[in-house]
């Protein structure tokens, strides 16, 4: 009988408290959104299931939990805390990115830079809310709308915040269709949303495509060496793709490798949200500031596009500024859809992708800058 009682006291049912239950509901909601609503299923499904697994109560000391050394989850989580998974994801991302649209419209790169201003606004806001500088920087990078970059910087500066920061970053990426359109509509007039972007007939030569990753990695990594783990792999992945001589490697990086990293990244980040360490007032603050960061980044991009229109003869559709955040390709798709609501024959997708890909570079540079400021 004693053995049976001892067994019962070691079960999850006995050890559960309200925080576990709350997080289980959160995890189930993520899984539901991923499967039923198809909201960013590639991210929300592994994270949601990870949240469920991470919040099953267990007897501490068995080496089961993600924070217990020698546990399997702990070893898998190493890829997150060391910044390994984000780096691998960037390799695959580079191998999937086509910079042609950016190379024919280099001016749009400025919108990718402008959208990063949200990061610095949020840095100031987080400091003002009483967060320490390293924590503030980790929260601010959510404004870049880039999950792997947020995880990478947080792992380096404030590892204890990885769970809330990652969940916030990925949640807001999934909520792009809800967050961005109202801001875009609020800051633009109908006439501005109707602006058609001129089609550029020029075709990008292979030499340009080959030179871009080499120039990009040299220029960006010389400027912010701390971004090497992200941009180094990103541009390498792209060079593999455009070189055409290592198709097998490029295809593997763009499929099997990035998929594997995404699975483990999502699952372990989800599992790191154990109720007792996740449900804190700080997490609430991170979620609020994350939303602020994302919104300000969107607004900065749109407003900068309007500013450019004041000085430029060829007008830019200001909606494109919203794609300056690096949520690829969600924000570009949203810009395109908002533009098409006003004029179904206005195709903004390729232009928005140009802003989007420059946003990826911009947010990685910002992460490098913040890391070098605060390391």
Partner 1 sequence: MDFLSFRTQLSHEGTYIGRTPMSVHKTKYIKSDSYDNLLTEVNHLMVPKQTFSCFVVDRVKYSGVELPYTYTIICIYKEVQNVYGLEAIKAYNGWAMAVTGAVIVMIGLSVLSFIISQLHRITDIVDNRNARKLKKSNVQSAADVSASQPVLPPLSDLGETMNHFKLLTQEVGDTFDLAALFQIFIHHDDPHPHLTIRSLREQGYLVSAGEGLFSWKHQ
Q: Which residues bind partner 1 (CB under 8 A)?
A: 67, 69, 102-103, 106-107, 109-110, 112-114, 116-117, 119-121, 123-124, 127-130, 132-134, 136, 158-160, 202, 204-205, 207-208, 211-212, 215-216, 219-220, 223-224, 358, 361-362, 365-366, 369-370, 373-375
Q: Which is nearer to partner 1, 130 or 182 (CB)?
A: 130
CA 58 from chain centre, in angstroms, equals 31
Q: Which is nearer to partner 1, 43 or 115 (CB)?
A: 115
CB of 8 to partner 1, least distance (A): 29
CB of 204 to partner 1, least distance (A): 7
CB of 284 to partner 1, least distance (A): 16
Bond into 329 cis (ω within 30): yes
Q: Which is nearer to partner 1, 9 or 312 (CB)?
A: 312
Q: Which is nearer to partner 1, 172 or 371 (CB)?
A: 371
Query: Residue 285: CB partners within 8 Å, gap ≥ 6?
Result: 129, 131, 139
Query: Residue 126: CB partners within 8 Å, gap ≥ 6?
Result: 135, 136, 137, 139, 140, 289
CB of 269 to partner 1, least distance (A): 17
CB of 341 to partner 1, least distance (A): 29
First to last CA, the chain: 56
CB of 53 to partner 1, least distance (A): 20
d(CA 181, CA 206) in angstroms, rounded, equals 36
Question: In angstroms, what CA-CA distances link 310 with 56, 236, 300, 306, 318?
Answer: 56, 37, 15, 7, 12
Q: Which of 229, 227, 255, 225 is nearest to 240 (CA)?
A: 255
CA 336 from chain centre, in angstroms, equals 20
d(CA 327, CA 104) in angstroms, rounded, equals 21
Q: Which is nearer to partner 1, 12 or 63 (CB)?
A: 63
Q: Which is nearer to partner 1, 41 or 133 (CB)?
A: 133
């Amino acid at each position: 009988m004693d053995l049976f009682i001892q067994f019962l006291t070691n079960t999850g049912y006995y050890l559960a408290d309200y925080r576990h239950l709350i997080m289980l509901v959160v995890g189930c909601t993520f899984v539901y959104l991923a499967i039923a609503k198809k909201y960013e299923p590639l991210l929300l499904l592994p994270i949601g299931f990870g949240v469920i697994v991470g919040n099953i109560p267990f007897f501490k000391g068995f080496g089961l939990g993600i924070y217990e050394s020698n546990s399997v989850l702990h070893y898998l989580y190493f890829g997150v805390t060391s910044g390994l998974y984000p780096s691998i994801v960037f390799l695959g991302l580079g191998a999937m990115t086509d910079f042609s649209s950016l190379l024919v419209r280099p001016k749009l790169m400025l919108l990718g830079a402008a959208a990063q201003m949200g990061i610095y606004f949020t840095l100031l806001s987080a400091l003002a809310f009483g967060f320490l500088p390293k924590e503030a920087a980790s929260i601010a990078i959510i404004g870049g709308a880039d999950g792997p970059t947020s995880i990478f910087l947080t792992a380096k500066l404030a590892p204890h915040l990885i769970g809330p920061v990652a969940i916030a970053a990925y949640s807001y990426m999934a909520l792009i269709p809800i967050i961005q359109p109202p801001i875009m509509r609020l800051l633009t007039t109908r006439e501005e949303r109707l602006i058609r972007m001129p089609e550029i007939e020029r075709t990008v030569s292979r030499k340009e495509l080959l030179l871009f990753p080499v120039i990009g990695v040299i220029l960006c990594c010389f400027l912010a060496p701390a971004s090497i783990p992200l941009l180094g792999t990103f541009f390498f992945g792209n060079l593999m793709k455009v070189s055409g001589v290592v198709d097998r490697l490029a295809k593997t990086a763009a499929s099997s490798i990035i998929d594997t990293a995404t699975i483990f990244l999502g699952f372990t980040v989800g599992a790191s949200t154990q109720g007792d360490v996740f449900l804190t007032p700080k997490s609430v603050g991170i979620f609020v500031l994350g939303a602020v960061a994302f919104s300000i980044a969107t607004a900065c991009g749109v407003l900068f596009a309007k500013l450019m229109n004041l000085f430029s003869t060829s007008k830019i559709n200001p909606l494109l500024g919203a794609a300056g955040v690096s949520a690829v390709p969600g924000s570009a798709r949203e810009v395109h859809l908002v533009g098409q609501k006003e004029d179904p024959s206005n195709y903004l997708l390729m232009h928005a992708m140009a802003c989007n890909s420059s946003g990826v570079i911009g947010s990685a540079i910002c992460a490098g800058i913040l890391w070098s400021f605060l390391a």
